[in-house]
Structure 1
Amino acid sequence: MLNFDEQRFLRIQSGAIALQSRLETVIVSSLSAGAENIFFLGTGGAAILMQPAAQLLQRRSRFPTFIDMPAELVLAGSAQLTDKSIVVMPSLSGTTKESVALLSRLKEIGATVITLVGHQETPLGKGGDHVFVNFAEDDTSCESFYLQSLFIALAILNHRDEIENHAEIVSQLSRMPALLLEVKRAYEPKAEAFAKVLAASDYHIITGAGNVWPEAFYYGMCILEEMQWIRTRPVHASDFFHGTLELVEKGVSVILFKGEDAARPLAERVQNFAPGYTDKLTVLDTAEFELPGVSADVRALVSPVLMATVLERISAHLEVLRNHPLTTRRYYKRVAY
């Protein structure tokens, strides 16, 4: 595979899997101690990666679940954020300034803070009540964060008897590192063709629904815009028909992400509409990826993980096609803002 270290990938994703037992222990302990809600409080891309887990809880549990922006909470606060709150703060660097700024306020409030970081010796690596460290870099962090947050959501559901077959689900998830590697290998011959579609236009409408919508948002904002300087319009597949459809015409690129959860029909609606008005519809469908031994229910849970792992292969080819390394920045962490 192009510019890819298989053993490094396996080591990082296996590291995320290895955190499951301790994550569950911390969650159960917090719930037993009287926790009344959970907040997922990341910044930027890390925040987006928490959305599938938050949505899973909001759809399947009566346990109050919130997702908010640290930068806004520092200024405005939240009546729901109390000493009975569990707060999950992801940050690959462990230094994200908006999240660090909120940390001291969380200490004052008395919330239980769980930090998910890539580096221990950082403000968030040292500042959480419970710190989970799994080294990763930009090209491997999505799967790691998706899996860790999924384990947190599953632990809550299981403790509250709101999910069946928890042990079997966790068992299947434990096989994901090797399965994801095989998905990457199988998709590699197609990755360059998809990358050429992205390289051929300086503007893309990117859409999806359900738990892959956050990955559509993430890929547009954090990869194509930040790392490739390609303009995008991420829009939820439902909202697509409340404004964005008017931008669709011949020559306009529409990129559709299709997952396998209950929201799949919303993506299919876009897929049925777009070809009548543009000659540039491109679909990435997780149902096409083989996961031997994984149930339909678990496939639905890991659709964003699958999407992320394939998009990494596409991005590897895209940076070569455009002669634009994914690490190149003009402003991000380079100038004052």
Structure 2
Amino acid sequence: MLNFDEQRFLRIQSGAAGLAKRFDEVITSCLAAGAENVFFLGTGGAAILMQPAHQLLQRSSRFPAFIDLTAELSITGSANLTKNSIVVMPSLSGTTKESVALLSKIKEIGATVLTLVGHQETPLGKGGDHVFVNFAEDDTSCESFYLQSLFIALSIMNHRGEIANYDHLIGELQKLPRLLIDVKRAYEDKAEDFAHILAGSDYHIITGAGNVWAEAFYYGMCILEEMQWIRTRPVHASDFFHGTLELVEKGVSVILFKGEDACRPLAERLENFAPAYTDKVTVLDTAAFDLPGISPEVRSLISPILLATVLERISAHLEVIRSHPLTTRRYYKRVAY
């Protein structure tokens, strides 16, 4: 596979999978101590990657779950953020400015903070009440953060008696690291073709529904815009028909991500509409990926992870095709802002 280190990927994702037991122990202690809600408070891309776990709790659990923007929350605060809150703060670098600033305010409130970081010796790596360290880099962080946040959500639901097969679900999730490599390998040839489609337009409408919406949002903003300077319009598939559809005409690229959760019909509605009005509709469907031993229930939970793992392959080809390394920036962490 192009510019890909299989052992490095396996080590990173196995590291994330290996945190399941400790997450469960920490969540158990938090709930026993009287935790009343959970906040997912990341910044930028890390915040987006928390959305599927938040959505799972919001729709399948009665345990109150919140997600907010760290920069805004530092200014406004929240009546729901109390000493009885569990706060999940992901930051690959462990140094994200907005997250570090909010952490100090959360500590004053007295909430229990779980930090998910790639580096221990950082403000967030040292500042959490419970610190979960799993080294990763930009090309491997999505799967790791998706998996870690999913463990948190499933643990909360399990201890509240809201799922009956927790151990079985965790057992299947533990198989993912090696299976994801097989998915990457099987998709490699198609990845180059997809990359040519992305390189062929300077503007893309990117859309999805359910738990894969987060990956559509993330890939448009954090990869195509930040790392490739390609203009995108990420829009949820349900919102597409309330404005963005008017931008669709011949030559406009529509990229659709399809997952396997209950919201798949929303993606299918868009898939049926767009080809009648543009000749550039590209669909990336997780149902096409072979995952031996993984049940439909787990597949529905990990659709964002599957998309992330093949999109990494697409990005690897895209940077070569466009002669634009993914590490190139003009402003991000290079100028004052």
Q: Deviation string for 1:171-212 (max 9, x for gaps)?
A: 000000000000000000100000000000000000000000
Q: Please state if 1:103 is matched with 2:92.
A: no
Partner of 1:154 in structure 2?
Answer: 154
Partner of 1:234 in structure 2?
Answer: 234
TM-score (norm 1): 1.00
Q: How does 1:22-101 map to 2 (within 5 A)?
A: 22-101=22-101
Q: Deviation string for 1:216-245 (max 9, x for gaps)?
A: 000000000000000000000000000000
Residues of 2 paired with 1:161 and 1:304: CA distance? 25
Partner of 1:126 in structure 2?
Answer: 126
Q: Deviation string for 1:70-118 (max 9, x for gaps)?
A: 1111100000000000000000000000000001100100000000000
Residues of 2 paired with 1:309 and 1:163: CA distance? 27
Identity fraction in percent: 81
Partner of 1:18 in structure 2?
Answer: 18
Q: How does 1:1-337 map to 2 (within 5 A)?
A: 1-337=1-337
Structure 1 residue runs without a partner (length 5+): none
Residues of 1 paired with 2:244 and 2:8: CA distance? 40
What amino acid does structure 1 have at the position aligned with 2:217? F
When the two structures are aligned, how many residues end up with a matched partner? 337
Residues of 2 paired with 1:64 and 1:223: CA distance? 31
The secondary structure found in structure 2 opposite 1:291 is coil
What amino acid does structure 2 have at the position aligned with 1:200? G
The secondary structure found in structure 1 opposite 2:163 is coil
Residues of 2 paired with 1:202 and 1:83: CA distance? 47
Structure 1 residue 164: Cα displacement:
2.0
Residues of 1 paired with 2:125 and 2:312: CA distance? 26
Q: Deviation string for 1:254-285 (max 9, x for gaps)?
A: 00000000000000000000000000000000
What amino acid does structure 2 have at the position aligned with 1:228? Q
What amino acid does structure 1 have at the position aligned with 2:190? K
Residues of 2 paired with 1:187 and 1:32: CA distance? 44
Residues of 2 paired with 1:228 and 1:177: CA distance? 27
Residues of 2 paired with 1:191 and 1:61: CA distance? 37
Residues of 2 paired with 1:163 and 1:296: CA distance? 15
Moved over 4 A (4+): none
The secondary structure found in structure 2 opposite 1:211 is helix
Q: Deviation string for 1:299-332 (max 9, x for gaps)?
A: 0000000000000000000000000000000000
The secondary structure found in structure 2 opposite 1:207 is strand
